Amino acid sequence: MIYFDNSATTKVDDKVIKKMVYLMGEEFGNPSSLHSFGFSAEKEIIKAKKIISKIIKSDEKEVFFTSGGTEANNLAVLGTVNAYKRAGKHIVVSKIEHPSVLEVYKKLEREGYVVSYIDVDKNGYVDMKQLENEINNETIIVSIMHVNNEIGTVQNIQKIYDIVKSKNLRTFLHVDCVQSFCKYRINSKYADLITLSGHKIHGPKGIGALFIKKGIRIEPMIVGGKQQNEIRSGTENVPGIAGFALAAENINEKIDENYKKVMEVKNKLAEIKNVLSDVWINGDEEKGSPYILNISFGGIKSEVLLHCLEEKKIFASTGSACTSNHKKHIGTVDIIGGFGQNSLRFSFSEDNTIEEAEKCVSELSEIVPFLRQYKQL
């Protein structure tokens, strides 16, 4: 099979599985327990914090584990607005954020917050001028993702951070780095809150982290046993945390090598636009993430094409995984003025090969004309 749906999720690394099984079956202690079993579990968490904080150039005390990217995004936004209620009621978000960010902003809007939704251009880049104009003395938080999960646009986070801080030093910048962690170098200097997730980097599902810059107050969403400095109560998912950190450590070592590898795969698959007519790439083909390639096939419903490819054991996706079965969702492709209904997202990992991309081009060059002919009948 050819798995081109790595932005939805990735195969868990064998070493990660082994480590997690060991932590579930042997070193299964509760990190809050005062005996040596508990201490060993706690050591795993400390080690994981070290690994992750090193990758994003932060302090270990600034990393908090969550049940995934979704919870980290919710905590970043709700945690700050609730902690800084008296400082203002204005919040800013880009129009192409993941639903785990956008839905939080919409919820807050219904509760009385004023939300500025920042436009993007035809390649998905946020409108910097609009961003600058919108931030005011009452702006609590700005959320802008690093790499877009549908079309792979890479935002200039350093520039965005400078704009935000030049307008209001007290406004926090929250960056969703779920699709860029261990694929691009991340420097926590240029963000106040950073969202990470385990299952996009060959780690397990149901684990993520939020970087919270020192000094920022967060009102917890989950209260209870006061774990993780009371920011996020609940017995820590030790196997998940250790598996996530191990996956990150393994993959981050090969960040440049992997980048080059997936770029070749993406470029090979992008050749489809030279083979077929009425096919185009959504987003910035040259500067977009090499891990994501979003292609529109004129006149063809993406779902039909997805299933035809599936019959050939090629797995891709329509839109982002969590929204593709919600028909009403307006995705990034529609927002940039494209045709989401005709678009497929192919997303890669370093395990993919050029041969797989060639095979996919060859299958598409047969399936697409066939479907187009069928439609004319």
Ligand X SMILES: Cc1ncc(COP(=O)(O)O)c(C=O)c1O
Q: Which residues bind ligand X (CB under 6 A)?
A: 68-70, 73, 98, 100, 145, 149, 176, 178-179, 197, 208, 320-322
Residue among 31 and 68 whose Cβ is closer to ligand X: 68
Residue among 88 and 208 whose Cβ is closer to ligand X: 208
| Amino acid (one-letter) located at 140 | I
Q: Quote helix, strand, coil % in the chain, to nearest 5.
A: 45, 15, 40
Task: Report angle CA 301, 306, 308 to the nearest 5 degrees.
Answer: 100
Supply the Cα-derived Rg of the chain in whole angstroms. 21
| Amino acid (one-letter) located at 298 | G
Q: Which residues contact 91 (CB under 8 A, 6 or more apart)?
A: 77, 81, 105, 108, 113, 114, 115, 116, 139, 140, 141, 142, 143
Tokens of 59: 């302090």
**CB of residue 354 to ligand X, shortest distance in Å:** 25
Residue among 10 and 168 whose Cβ is closer to ligand X: 10
CB atoms within 10 A of CB 74: 21
DSSP 178-217: TTTBTTB---GGG-SEEEEESTTTTS-SS-EEEEE-TT--
* Residues identified as active-site: 322
Task: Report angle CA 121, 175, 43 to the nearest 5 degrees.
Answer: 155
Task: Report angle CA 368, 369, 372 to the nearest 5 degrees.
Answer: 85
The neighbouring-strand residues paired with 126 are 120
**CB of residue 98 to ligand X, shortest distance in Å:** 4
**CB of residue 73 to ligand X, shortest distance in Å:** 6
The answer to whether the CB of 283 falls within 8 A of the CB of 148 is: yes
3-state secondary structure of 370: helix
Residue among 53 and 153 whose Cβ is closer to ligand X: 153
Q: Which residues contact 317 (CB under 8 A, 6 or more apart)?
A: 5, 7, 8, 306, 324, 344, 345, 346, 347
**CB of residue 221 to ligand X, shortest distance in Å:** 14
Residue among 135 and 177 whose Cβ is closer to ligand X: 177
The torsion angle over the Cα atoms of residues 307, 309, 312 and 314, rounded to 10 degrees, is -110
Residue among 13 and 176 whose Cβ is closer to ligand X: 176
Residue among 56 and 145 whose Cβ is closer to ligand X: 145
**CB of residue 64 to ligand X, shortest distance in Å:** 14
Give the residue at shortest CB distance from ligand X: 69
DSSP 244-296: HHHHHHHHHTTHHHHHHHHHHHHHHHHTHHHHSSSEEEES-TTTS-TTEEEEE
Residue among 62 and 176 whose Cβ is closer to ligand X: 176
**CB of residue 206 to ligand X, shortest distance in Å:** 8
The answer to whether the CB of 169 falls within 8 A of the CB of 162 is: no
